[in-house]
Copies of this chain bind each other. A is one copy, B any other.
Amino acid sequence: MAAQSKPDLVLASVRRLLRVGATANLLNLLQKRHPVDIAELLRALNDHERRAAVDALAGADPRLAMQVVAELGVDVGAAVLASRPASDIVRLLQELAPDDAAALIDHFPEALADQVRDLMHGQQPSAEITEVLENPEGTAGRIMNPRVFALPDETTVEEAVKAIQQLGGVEMSFYLYVIDERRHLVGVVSLRRLLLVPPQAMLKHIMTTDVISVGIDTPQEEVAKKVSSYHLLAVPVVDDENKLVGTVTVDDIIEVIRDTTTEEFQRLGGLEALDEPYVRTPLLTLVKKRARWLVVLFLGEMLTATAMGYFEREISRAVVLALFVPLIISSGGNSGSQAASLIIRALAVGEVTLHDWWRIMRREVLSGLALGCILGSVGFVRVSLWQQLFGTYGANWFLIALTVLFALVGVVMWGTIAGSMLPFVMKRLGADPATSSAPFVATLVDVTGLVIYFTVAATILRGTLL
């Protein structure tokens, strides 16, 4: 609670200082905070106030201002900058790492983005930004920082330390990359190792030559997998001739993991990935991305009306059959959703591969059978109990209870198998397994579940109710 109230007080001060135009006091209050915390404060302001606060910061400390803008995220960050003249934007963007600057430009309105790009053309640090923008989205090249610090392999440790000391403001990570005379990546030295070796040693003698790197076109998800499985803090990016062109750091990777997860969640919920945060997605886009799959599912689900049409005669003779339709098909859908979620996730983290389908199949057949028997028994008890208590189902109650029991065993087993195998089929076809999400499994199982249910009913009730 205390943690909640303190930022609220600071927020109130920021608002007041903005209102009275007390820029010096405002700067005094903001500058002693971490950019992340300033961004947190700014996020709670309205657009007008936020722009005024960034203006104040940009006048006094452009670097801090841009760190804050970067922390605001690309959507809000781009919106805050967009009202400034393009030349001013170009100047401010120099304060950022080229990958962060590129991401912001990507989120400007088209006309402004073009203007900014034109102004940047040819200028040295800006050229790096344009370079990053030329790489396709979703690749290592698009999230790398091209401003990478590297030294030739004949440099001595003493010279390397001096070079690092002269870096000044330039961002330098925890690894020193070693290149040959044609900028090929040949090794890596950790900063700590640099402290541990004699100053006269040459980098080529102390470096690790077995460098783990990624290509400029490597998909971001693969970069994430590499960084996390080898426990790296940064990974060098090379072009197809093994020339060093940039680095991707572990904090970019955490972003990638988060975004990928969000997309998987959305697919699992049966809609297209939004690409943008939910709250920033325009309502029309939101409806469009949801409507497309909903309509597809709806068209599939129409088959239930057709399927039930075939059993219209049975239903009119025994209306009691209709009463259990939702219960039975949803049990199939729920067990299918469970199985699908389990397998989709296991495939996503690489715990299970395509080769395992047969092993999983056997496991899921058994699970489905067990779950079907459990639900079937509960269903049997329900019908029997209602009969004893209220006499709901008449003379044939036992046959109805049996129908519910066997239909549930069949439907739950089938739902479990379909839910667990569909992700494999998707992956085999080269699609994202998450596309075989819960709603898809439910729709598939609804139609077939009806057929299972009425077939069981026809078999058991023939000659009595039917």
User: Measured between alpha carbons, how far is A292 from B195 in the docked complex, in Å?
Assistant: 57
User: Measured between alpha carbons, how far is A326 from B305 in the docked complex, in Å?
Assistant: 7
Residue ID in chain B nearest A292 by CB atoms: B374
Q: Which of A163-212 touch B at CB < 8 Å? A: 164-165, 172, 174, 191-192, 194-196, 210, 212
Q: Does A98 contact B (CB under 8 A)?
A: no
> Do A337 and B278 touch (CB < 8 A)?
no
A97 CB, nearest partner CB in chain B, Å: 11
List residues of chain B with CB within 8 A of the CB of A352: 278-279
A451 CB, nearest partner CB in chain B, Å: 12
> Do A229 and B36 touch (CB < 8 A)?
yes
> Do A327 and B301 touch (CB < 8 A)?
yes
List residues of chain B with CB within 8 A of the CB of A302: 327, 382
With known contacts A195-B161, A229-B36, A323–B308 Cβ distance under 8 A: yes
A253 CB, nearest partner CB in chain B, Å: 8
With known contacts A345-B262, A378-B299, A356–B279 Cβ distance under 8 A: yes
Q: Does A331 contact B (CB under 8 A)?
A: yes
User: Measured between alpha carbons, how far is A335 from B227 in the docked complex, in Å?
Assistant: 37
- Total interface residues in chain A, CB < 8 Å: 104
Q: Does A297 contact B (CB under 8 A)?
A: yes
Stretch binding the partner chain, chosen from A12-20, A23-31, A109-117, A439-447: A439-447
Q: Which of A330-354 touch B at CB < 8 Å? A: 330-331, 333-335, 337-338, 340-346, 349, 351-352
Q: Does A358 contact B (CB under 8 A)?
A: no
List residues of chain B with CB within 8 A of the CB of A395: none
List residues of chain B with CB within 8 A of the CB of A338: 269-271, 290, 293-294, 439
Q: A371: which of B230, B290, B319, B337 is its contact (CB, 8 Å)?
A: B290
Q: Does A375 contact B (CB under 8 A)?
A: yes
Q: Does A367 contact B (CB under 8 A)?
A: yes
Q: Does A466 contact B (CB under 8 A)?
A: no
User: Measured between alpha carbons, how far is A325 from B320 in the docked complex, in Å?
Assistant: 14
> Do B174 and A442 touch (CB < 8 A)?
no
> Do A323 and B305 touch (CB < 8 A)?
yes
Q: A304: which of B258, B265, B316, B326 is its contact (CB, 8 Å)?
A: B326
A231 CB, nearest partner CB in chain B, Å: 4
Q: Does A418 contact B (CB under 8 A)?
A: no
A132 CB, nearest partner CB in chain B, Å: 18
Q: A349: which of B192, B196, B262, B349 is its contact (CB, 8 Å)?
A: B262
Q: Does A388 contact B (CB under 8 A)?
A: no
Residue ID in chain B nearest A300 by CB atoms: B330
Q: Does A287 contact B (CB under 8 A)?
A: yes
List residues of chain B with CB within 8 A of the CB of A396: none
Q: Does A438 contact B (CB under 8 A)?
A: yes
Q: Which of A248-263 touch B at CB < 8 Å? A: 250-251, 253-255, 257-258, 261-262
List residues of chain B with CB within 8 A of the CB of A409: none
Identify 21 residue pairs between A and B in the complex whose beta-carbon atoms are under 8 Å apart, listed by A's number: A164-B196, A174-B233, A227-B254, A228-B251, A228-B254, A231-B251, A269-B340, A270-B334, A271-B338, A277-B351, A290-B335, A290-B367, A293-B338, A294-B335, A297-B330, A301-B327, A315-B322, A325-B325, A330-B333, A330-B442, A337-B439
**17 further interface pairs, Cβ-Cβ under 8 Å (given A174-B233, A308-B323):** A36-B229, A228-B251, A228-B255, A266-B341, A277-B346, A278-B346, A297-B334, A298-B379, A301-B330, A305-B323, A308-B322, A312-B319, A315-B315, A319-B319, A326-B329, A330-B442, A338-B439
Residues of A that sit less than 8 Å from B by CB: 34, 36, 161, 164-165, 172, 174, 191-192, 194-196, 210, 212, 227-231, 233, 250-251, 253-255, 257-258, 261-262, 264-266, 268-271, 274, 277-279, 283, 286-287, 290-291, 293-295, 297-299, 301-302, 304-305, 308-309, 312, 315-316, 319-320, 322-327, 329-331, 333-335, 337-338, 340-346, 349, 351-352, 356, 363, 366-367, 370-371, 374-375, 378-379, 382, 392, 438-439, 442-443, 446, 450
